[in-house]
Chain A
Amino acid sequence: MLPPPPAGRDLRLDFFRGLSLWFIFLDHVPSNIVSWFTIRNYGFSDASEVFVFISGYTAAFVYGRVMKERGFIIGAARILKRAWQIYVAFVFLLVFYFAEIAYVSSHFSNPLYTEEFGIFDFFQKPDVVLIEALMLRFLPANVDVLPLYIALMMFFPPVLWLMLRQPDLTLLLSIVFYFLAKAFDWNLVLYPYDHSWFFNPFAWQLLFVIGSWCALGGARRISPILYSRPVIALCMIYLVLAAPLQLSWLFPSLTGRMPGWLMILPLDKTGLSPWRLFHFLALAAVVIYYVPFDAKFLRSNWARPLILCGEHSLEIFCLGVFLSFSAHFVLTEISSLIAMQIAVSLAGIAVMVTVAALMTWYKDIERRGGKPPPSATQEGFEGVTAS
């Protein structure tokens, strides 16, 4: 029996964050047929946007309250503590990643893949690679949303400080910064120095800030516009037009040649293309319109697994990356048949839900048993929920 949801919380955040975590896991298992169910196939934006937006929203919601009640220093300290936790999680995943690569590189000599062996070149110099990785300058694929998250949290204290005083100005600055980054090609450089972060933090900060802005009253202030029929209709039209475009891109032979003016794809994910950003915002507006705060299904049993995962997003994200490595291992070593792809996908989701349920259960036990000083425990809990 899954534990019931806590009262008074906006379950939509947990629900959709849980959903994005499932999607991220499914998308990270290479050549997985189940990933056809994820949103990236039916529109411009994908689960990354959902994850970053909700992270910005919850960060502002939780740490904004701390900063308001207990001052800038305490608020900033909590945010940086959170950034540190994410960093530790990143290093943890890195170890798994290196272990799998090391295993493959020492057993693998099929000449069919001579070109792909180039990936092992990095490990000719383990000292350099490990140090660069610890400095967030060597980022393996699939883990790269965590470094983005760390970077965003590191700079969040001053942003939040300003956001609590001048929310609209903060948003405006963020938008300006986004366009400056685009105009001047700002990004963080990665080892071996000829490429940069896959999630450009200078661009993706905008989505995080939009999330924070919404959490601190922005959403309420624009709600008359947001809930107006013409706006929702516009959003719907955009979503409906984006879907076949994205799908036709995935099945080029089914649609034939596309007219030149439709050649906006592929969209820049690194720099968070405006097409992607607007697609996500339209999606969010439509979802909020049709799923009210107190929607019944959010408290139903079948929504529980998703909400549980969303409540422990950092842990479940890391678990998902780890599970995607494991799923890949099973698919190459045992069988890659479609049945197996479905089996490892379902098994992975089952593990994610079970671990999330155990964590909630343990948290409740801790909360009920003994009475530790409220300040300390409360912080810990908030830290967990604020991912």
Chain B
Amino acid sequence: MRMLSAALTLVLLAAGSARAADSCDVPNNLVETFARLPRVGFSVKRDHKLEIVVLSAAPKLSGEASNLKSYPYYLESELRERLKGTDVHVFGQSEPRKTIIEVIKDLPRLLAERQPVLVVWQTGTVEAMRGIDPDGYGRALDSGVAALQNGGADVVLINQQFSPRTDFMFDGGPYTENMRWVSQTRDIPLFNRYEVMKYWGETGAFDLTALKNDGTYEKVHRCIGRLIADLVMRAASLSGTVER
């Protein structure tokens, strides 16, 4: 076992140093997915448009921070750059501090108003902080994903981020496990934001422990936007530019 973990560490470190050119890069196994996004591929290739909703329970930034750009913004610009000729819209829908039960109630309205082809759903943080039963969380998430799929949208799940300073206060592990269960049974991608950011923290790509904003916010969100764009392109089998 010691051999295995030592080897694993070496592989991770080697992967980290070999790709130091771009601080966004992470080992493939952290962002790989076997699931597909057929509706996204179809919408881009046939209708040349891509309507995306990013759903989260994060509160809006306030004060000085309110001008900071978040990953939905970067996701949109990344996808626009890669999908020339496709009309890409990313709409950020934030339901601050709401647990999954409340968020699910809003899904039909969201589907009707936005008619998204893809819903990128970040969830789990509020539930972990409140200590909601992880099993019940998994069932609720499953019904939410079913509602979105029945409403004509592909889904990408995102788990809680890696927050080293609050890591000991609540444990997101069981919620991520339930998300993984939903992602496997429903065959949808799960973007493991926690592991990705933890990797950045451990390799020193970003300092994730800063007490105040030191510019890391936009760097991290730019990278997350880019990695999600990568994942969408791959899972929807899209190449850099789409022929018209």
Confirm or deny: A17 has a beta carbon within 8 angstroms of a beta carbon on chain B: no
Q: Is the CB of B164 within 8 A of A270?
A: no
Interface residues of A, count at CB 8 A? 57
Q: Is the CB of B202 within 8 A of A113?
A: no
In the complex, chain A residues 315-346 whose Cβ is within 8 Å of any chain B Cβ: 324-325, 328, 331-333, 336-338
Interface segment, one of A69-77, A168-176, A251-259, A347-355:
A251-259
Cβ-defined partner of B129 (8 Å) among A104, A119, A265, A270: A119
In the complex, chain A residues 69-121 whose Cβ is within 8 Å of any chain B Cβ: 100-101, 104, 107-116, 118-119, 121
Cβ-defined partner of A263 (8 Å) among B131, B185, B214: B185
Confirm or deny: A303 has a beta carbon within 8 angstroms of a beta carbon on chain B: no
Contacts A260-B185, A328-B167, A336-B201 given: A253-B29 contact, CB under 8 Å?
A: yes
How many residue pairs at the A-B interface have CB separations less than 8 Å? 147
Which residue of chain B is the closest to A113 with respect to CB atoms? B163
In the complex, chain B residues 154-187 whose Cβ is within 8 Å of any chain A Cβ: 161-171, 174, 177-178, 180-181, 184-185
Q: Is the CB of B169 within 8 A of A36?
A: no
Confirm or deny: B112 has a beta carbon within 8 angstroms of a beta carbon on chain A: no
Contacts A119-B129, A265-B181, A332-B209 given: A338-B202 contact, CB under 8 Å?
A: yes
A78 to B227 alpha-carbon distance, docked (Å): 59
Query: Which of A107, A111, A268 has the largest count of B CB atoms less than 10 A from its CB?
Result: A111
Q: Is the CB of A118 within 8 A of B97?
A: yes
Q: Is the CB of A265 within 8 A of B177?
A: yes
Q: Is the CB of B181 within 8 A of A266?
A: yes
- Which of under 10, 10 to 19, 20 to 34, or 35 or more describes the interface residues of B? 35 or more
Q: Is the CB of A332 within 8 A of B169?
A: no
Q: Mark A115-143, 1 if CB is under 8 A from B, else 0.
A: 11011010000000000000000011110
Q: Is the CB of A266 within 8 A of B126?
A: no
A109 to B211 alpha-carbon distance, docked (Å): 6
A75 to B169 alpha-carbon distance, docked (Å): 37
In the complex, chain A residues 262-318 whose Cβ is within 8 Å of any chain B Cβ: 263, 265-266, 268-271
Which residue of chain B is the closest to A29 with respect to CB atoms? B168
In the complex, chain B residues 204-237 whose Cβ is within 8 Å of any chain A Cβ: 208-214, 216-217, 220
CB distance from A31 to the nearest CB of B (A): 6
Q: Is the CB of B129 within 8 A of A111?
A: no
Cβ-defined partner of B164 (8 Å) among A36, A252, A256, A336: A336
Task: Please give, as numbers and ranges, the residues of chain B lying within 8 Å of A195 by CB-CB distance.
Answer: 130-133
Which residue of chain A is the closest to B94 with respect to CB atoms? A115
Q: Is the CB of A140 within 8 A of B169?
A: yes
Q: Is the CB of B131 within 8 A of A30?
A: no
In the complex, chain B residues 60-79 whose Cβ is within 8 Å of any chain A Cβ: 61, 65, 68
Cβ-defined partner of A141 (8 Å) among B29, B125, B165, B171: B171
Which residue of chain A is the closest to B13 with respect to CB atoms? A338
- Top 9 nearest A-B pairs (CB, nearest first) are A266-B177, A30-B167, A111-B65, A115-B58, A253-B29, A253-B32, A328-B168, A195-B131, A116-B166
What are 27 A-B pairs with beta-carbon distances under 8 A?
Answer: A30-B168, A31-B202, A100-B168, A110-B213, A111-B68, A112-B161, A112-B163, A112-B213, A112-B220, A113-B166, A114-B65, A115-B57, A115-B126, A118-B97, A119-B129, A119-B169, A190-B131, A249-B177, A251-B29, A253-B30, A263-B181, A269-B174, A270-B133, A270-B135, A336-B209, A337-B202, A338-B202
Known: A107-B211, A332-B164. 10 other contacts (CB 8 A): A30-B164, A31-B198, A112-B213, A115-B57, A195-B130, A195-B131, A266-B174, A336-B164, A338-B9, A338-B202
